[in-house]
Structure 1
Amino acid sequence: MKFDRSGVSTSSGTKEAAQGKLDDSAVLDSAHVGDIIGAFGTVKVDDTRSSRSKGWRRLFTLLAIMGPGLVVMVGDNDAGGVATYAQAGQNYGPHLLWTLLLLIPVLYVNQEMVVRLGAVTGVGHARLIFNRFGKFWGAFSVIDLFILNALTIVTEFIGVDQAFRYFGLPSYLGIPVAAVLLFLFASGGSFRRWERWMYLLIAFNLAVIPMAIFVHPNYGQVVSNTIIPSFPGGINASLLLLIIAIVGTTVAPWQLFFQQSNVIDKRITPRWIPYERIDTAVGVVLTEIGAAALLIVPAYALAHTHAFGNFTSALGTAVSLRAHAGSVIGDLFALVLLDASLIGASAVTLSTTYALGDVFNIRHSLHWSPRRAPAFYLFYAALLVVSAVIVLIPHSPLGLITTGVQALAGILLPSATVFLVLLCNDRVVLGPWVNSVARNIVSGVIVWILVLLSLALTAATVFPNLTGTQLVQGLGVGALVGALGGVVLLVRGRLESATYDRTTPSMKMDRAAVLKERENWRMPKLDKLARAEMSIGRKLGLGTLRAYLVLAFVMVIVKVVQLASGH
């Protein structure tokens, strides 16, 4: 595939159509406009038939468009995910499987919103926050992302290190090799080549399914624990920390930034949103099946052994599996850990460099080669190198980082989700693609549940003498407050909508016309948009949430240090 100086695909003979779309949209990188070039096919920029086609043509179109949803979802089961799910299974058996079932709608709802944002706006998540809410809130979102992503990339290299050490290979060999491979995956100047590498890694990741079958789980017990929530040993700070870690590793903030930017980089426009929704849904199912398998393997293979209830690390789990379930299970677990670490490192590093490209307005696309986008690949390489070096430093607190980063992701997720919901209700940004009432209700429930979990963890850390019953009562009161607040917001939203429709009939007619042409609706250029109004109530709400999250952030670090020190 060749590109002209603007980065627009020229091999299809549709340069003019692509350039026209660039001139009319808010897209910041010219490489983000043109043919959709997927691992399994190409969709022309001027294709007007495939979006409504049926049969084999529809399947081939889906295969060409699929990718961002699969990569972000399977990348979710990264090194930290493998460790977290293994810890849940090894310490609590199959009793926490229910958390994975509840996270399915959370995953899909969040990622479907960023699919619409990416396809409709053509602008990354960080850039939208900066533009719509100002530098103050934009800086907060990017700083959160950068710190958390940097720590997450370190955990990916920890996973690489543990997998190599399982097979007796030294760290100083395995980690540099992994870093070089990750750079080579992304730096070929071909989106298609990178996506094919990701598909290869994703295919191997499916080894977790036969591995779970080989340990002969009790399927009735698995189904029961998936459907019926339970809290083994009662609700306490340690269990809450693990549940929040499961949430944080399953629905991480980096996923929002990555998929929105990857949808843009793949040149997916509103016409193809239904296909990308399917891609996301398939990814959600696969990642939750994989997560369940990773939990089930140690839960049943290590049951009734001295290793049960004594999780130390993913490496320790692999060694225990080899000792108690055979070398095949142990080796497969270690290989899945290595594979998951590579997928996660690639996705999380790209999430960060995409965001930095948006913020600093530099070329940021896998369609560019390092020569054409040097700053983009310099950021990418620097993140890999720094993370690899941290893992190689003797006596680095690797266990502390691995344990804490997943919980911190869960703590910071409410803030990321709030900005996501605000953007998806911004008619200037999404026009006819704004959230429906049902989506807003689900999103509100998700945010409030995450806040309640972090509140419970903070309370259990500050007041260690709180009983499980008191924590449950507190969660119940919080749920009631959230329900009442939701009713107030719903009524207020209805009244504002009715007022809007009565006072602006011409706009109502315009919106009706736009709805008929949703496929072609794109957000105008950013310099033509007035900044979103920040009411006093919204500022107070966001400020309160930010202050609380800082406190919760500190409390999680305190709890992790306590656990790491054995207190």
Structure 2
Amino acid sequence: MAKKIRDSEKDPVVGTSKPKLLSVLGPGIITGAADDDPSGIATYSQAGAQFGFAITWTMLFSYPLMAAIQEISARIGRTTGHGIATNLRTYYPPWILPVIVALLFIANTINIGADLGAMGDAVGLLIGGNVALYVVLFALLSACLQIFLQYARYVSILKWLTFSLFAYFGTVMVVKIPYGELAYGFFVPTFSADTAFWTTVVAILGTTISPYLFFWQASQEVEDERESA
């Protein structure tokens, strides 16, 4: 009996009154939080400012698709032990991988530029100063963390940073929301012939289901498996 108690105390998840939080949270929470990136926040904010709750119905499609794609990407990484790029090279014609990687590079470059620009603008709104300098500093900080920090330590930092998303919950608690309009916009699709409307819809779907999420989720699952092996 004593041995069972000692064994349960060693388990960080089961059998303890204070489980280690970071060991419970998996790679999916980081990828899911990363989808709420600065470019996404800027897109959602502009959509709300222009159209109010009229585009809220897109969540009925974007969220299930995002969750399904993350699940599939995670299963690919966990099952095969390799990322999506390696699986493409292994199971598909050789020309497919360079094309996919080239498209991913272009999409990621645009996405990272939008993220850094949004982060610089946010800091500029808070404290003022040179926005371009903030963009450069954020780029250098992100690159240095990925290059010089150990994977386990970096993942631990990212997991703790996901708690910043609770700021949304706090905002909902203090901001007056017209729930009737919200429910109507969510359950009753609204369409418009305006070009700006459909451009915003495409932007929402594109920033919610970003290409880098597929590769990141699968690769992080593989790295997590190797780290815990």
Please indicate the TM-score interval, normalised by the length of the shorter structure: 0.7 to 0.9
Q: For residues 358-377 of structure 1, what are the structure 2 equivalents within 5 Å?
A: none
Q: For residues 67-466 of structure 1, what are the structure 2 equivalents within 5 Å?
A: 67-166=26-125, 167-231=127-191, 234-267=192-225
Residues 139 and 251 (structure 1 numbering): CA distance in 2 closer, same or farther, change over 3 Å? same
Residues in 1 aligned to 2:15 and 2:48: alpha-carbon distance in whole angstroms: 42
Please tell me whether the aligned partners of residues 73 and 214 of structure 2 are also in contact (alpha carbons under 8 angstroms): yes
Give the Å deviation of 1:172. Answer: 4.6
> Deviations along 1:105-144, whole A, 9 cap, x unmatched?
2112111111111001111101111221122111111111
Give the Å deviation of 1:62. Answer: 8.0
Q: For residues 35-74 of structure 1, what are the structure 2 equivalents within 5 Å?
A: 56=15, 60=19, 63-64=22-23, 66-74=25-33
Residues in 1 aligned to 2:170 and 2:21: alpha-carbon distance in whole angstroms: 27
Residues 122 and 61 (structure 1 numbering): CA distance in 2 closer, same or farther, change over 3 Å? farther
In structure 1, the partner of 2:6 is none
Please tell me whether the aligned partners of residues 76 and 250 of structure 1 are also in contact (alpha carbons under 8 angstroms): yes
CA radius of gyration, larger in: 1
Q: Partner of 1:206: helix, strand, or coil?
A: helix
Residues 148 and 104 (structure 1 numbering): CA distance in 2 closer, same or farther, change over 3 Å? same
Long gaps (5+) in structure 1: 1-49, 269-366, 368-567
Stretches of 4+ aligned residues off by more than 3 angstroms: 54-57, 59-63
> Deviations along 1:316-335, whole A, 9 cap, x unmatched?
xxxxxxxxxxxxxxxxxxxx
> Deviations along 1:504-523, whole A, 9 cap, x unmatched?
xxxxxxxxxxxxxxxxxxxx
> Deviations along 1:347-375, whole A, 9 cap, x unmatched?
xxxxxxxxxxxxxxxxxxxx7xxxxxxxx
Provide the aligned C-alpha RMSD in A.
Answer: 2.6
Residues 134 and 62 (structure 1 numbering): CA distance in 2 closer, same or farther, change over 3 Å? farther
Residues 207 and 159 (structure 1 numbering): CA distance in 2 closer, same or farther, change over 3 Å? same
Residues in 1 aligned to 2:20 and 2:87: alpha-carbon distance in whole angstroms: 29
Which amino acid is 1:130 matched to? R
Please tell me whether the aligned partners of residues 22 and 159 of structure 2 are also in contact (alpha carbons under 8 angstroms): no
Please tell me whether the aligned partners of residues 77 and 219 of structure 2 are also in contact (alpha carbons under 8 angstroms): yes
Please tell me whether the aligned partners of residues 97 and 226 of structure 1 are also in contact (alpha carbons under 8 angstroms): yes
Residues in 1 aligned to 2:171 and 2:21: alpha-carbon distance in whole angstroms: 29
> Deviations along 1:365-389, whole A, 9 cap, x unmatched?
xx7xxxxxxxxxxxxxxxxxxxxxx
Give the Å deviation of 1:243. Answer: 0.9
Residues in 1 aligned to 2:81 and 2:30: alpha-carbon distance in whole angstroms: 19
> TM-score when scaled to structure 1?
0.36
Give the Å deviation of 1:200. Answer: 3.3
Percent identity of the aligned residues?
26
For these two proteins, the number of residue pairs brought into alignment is: 217
Residues 190 and 81 (structure 1 numbering): CA distance in 2 closer, same or farther, change over 3 Å? same
Which amino acid is 2:82 matched to? V
Which amino acid is 1:112 matched to? E
Q: For residues 16-27 of structure 1, what are the structure 2 equivalents within 5 Å?
A: none
In structure 2, the partner of 1:405 is none
> Deviations along 1:501-556, whole A, 9 cap, x unmatched?
xxxxxxxxxxxxxxxxxxxxxxxxxxxxxxxxxxxxxxxxxxxxxxxxxxxxxxxx
Please tell me whether the aligned partners of residues 84 and 246 of structure 1 are also in contact (alpha carbons under 8 angstroms): yes
Which amino acid is 2:158 matched to? M
Residues 218 and 111 (structure 1 numbering): CA distance in 2 closer, same or farther, change over 3 Å? same
Please tell me whether the aligned partners of residues 164 and 170 of structure 1 are also in contact (alpha carbons under 8 angstroms): no
Which amino acid is 2:111 matched to? T
Residues in 1 aligned to 2:93 and 2:21: alpha-carbon distance in whole angstroms: 37
Please tell me whether the aligned partners of residues 191 and 266 of structure 1 are also in contact (alpha carbons under 8 angstroms): no
> Deviations along 1:43-85, whole A, 9 cap, x unmatched?
xxxxxxx7xxx9546x948851523211111111112101110
Please tell me whether the aligned partners of residues 185 and 197 of structure 1 are also in contact (alpha carbons under 8 angstroms): no
